[in-house]
Amino acid sequence: MPTTPGLPVRRAALRLLDAVLRRGETLEIAEGAALSGIRTAPDRALARAIASETLRWLTDIDALIDSVTKQRLPDDAKARMVLRIMLAQALRLDTPAHAVIATGLPLLAGGPRRLAHGVFSTLVKPGAGTLPEHPTLPESVVARWGAEKAAAIAPGLAFPPELDLALKDAAETETRAVAMGGVTLAPGHVRLPRGAAVDTLADFKAGDWWVQDLAASIPARLLGDGTGKNALDLCAAPGGKTMQLAAAGWNVTALDMSKRRLELLKDNLKRTGLKASPVRADALVWEPKHRFDAILIDAPCTATGTCRRHPDVLHRIGARQIPEMVELQRGLAAKAAEWLNPGGVLVYAVCSLEVEEGEQQAAWIDANCGLAPMPITAAELPAGLAPTAEGWLRTHPGMLADRGGLDGFFVARWLKS
């Protein structure tokens, strides 16, 4: 019996959703198994988009489902899971209702198709199933971040992010922005509309740029020119910050313990023609052969600051994962402080929105690592961003929303006397 066109893609999206919500996997990890039978790039992208938009709007989609059912469907009921992806397609991806029904109801073979059909049909009637202007965050997330912070962040989560490029030569910023049809928010940065196929863009093979969110580019910017100096990039792969440092003249040691991710870093260095010394090691047991003039720690973290591009983190990460990350981050900071030359600079950064991984870690480093705070200044930051009173930087997805937003980061800097 022939398969309904588009049905395998919806099955794959359902597998992605199940991997995140039931097993706590990242979308990236889940893709290997979930998309194994999906051959074409457009179909794989569609499966990812369905799962991502479902997770982005999950709280609101669930509220819609509950508003028209007499008895609440269990969170893990297959009917709820299928209705979630059906509504995400209809309400966020503009998929025609007949196509959603044709590819959704077969996922409930032997199950409550009539219920799902009725719920979906009711909610897609004009004016019936409407989503708010921006996603409602899960209650557990609001409890961690606080209502005020969550309300500021939520507007930045309504859409997937645009495409940010970091340029190898910042002097080309304006020229490249015009040539590529983008805008720039800082020297060495170009922002393009979402959906662009990266490997088809101008000068991809020439290695004149790499993909890197604007917020992610700030930590390396804070180290400035490194001509003739040695820098260590801890947890370096896949290499965006390593390439920034190399382009700024630093002699970079790029350390990471993941073989796969280090291979990506090496590939990126080869494509861009930039030089660095990759090292595969566990930073907590590794000992360098020399000290460094600068160390950048882009520390392992909960990555909740990437929620606009990875909405799965809103549903995977909870309070129980944070203490483990905090302990690891402190171990890395303590090691880095030992490895700095006198006069050396340490930059600590996490793509996390959790205060335990950001502000509280900076206070811990102040008190325990023998380093002097080196406040970040407004002049060092892209327009529209400002340091905190302590001289730290905190960004979140609701910032610069009128210009496309940015990821959530915490960044702080110290000097070794």
Question: Which residue shows structure tokens 């023998």?
Answer: 370
- Other Cβ atoms closer than 10 A to 47: 24
Handedness of CA 118, 124, 130, 133 (dihedral sign): positive
Q: How far apart are CA 257 and CA 227, in angstroms?
A: 27
Contacts of 42 (CB under 8 A, 6+ apart): none
How is residue 281 written in tokens? 């090691």
Q: How far apart are CA 355 and CA 303, in angstroms?
A: 12
The three-class DSSP label of residue 105 is helix
| φ, ψ (nearest 5 deg) of residue 138 | -55, 150
Report the half-sphere exposure of 416 (CA within 13 A, side-chain side).
Answer: 21
Asked if 333 and 361 count as a contact pair (C-beta separation under 8 A), the reply is yes
Give the max Cα distance, the chain.
74
Asked if 191 and 184 count as a contact pair (C-beta separation under 8 A), the reply is yes
Question: Which residue shows structure tokens 């390439």?
Answer: 243
Asked if 322 and 315 count as a contact pair (C-beta separation under 8 A), the reply is no
Q: How far apart are CA 344 and CA 213, in angstroms?
A: 26
- Other Cβ atoms closer than 10 A to 239: 28
* Annotation marks residue 235 as catalytic: no
How is residue 409 written in tokens? 């980061």
- Per DSSP, which regions of 267-310 are E strands? 277-280, 292-298
Asked if 397 and 405 count as a contact pair (C-beta separation under 8 A), the reply is yes
Cα 218 vs. chain centroid, distance in angstroms? 15
Q: How far apart are CA 50 and CA 46, in angstroms?
A: 6
Residue 72 is given by DSSP the state P
Q: Write down the catalytic residue from 235, 301, 307, 351.
A: 351
Q: How far apart are CA 314 and CA 232, in angstroms?
A: 31
Q: Would you please indicate which residues are annotated as catalytic (active-site) residues?
A: 351
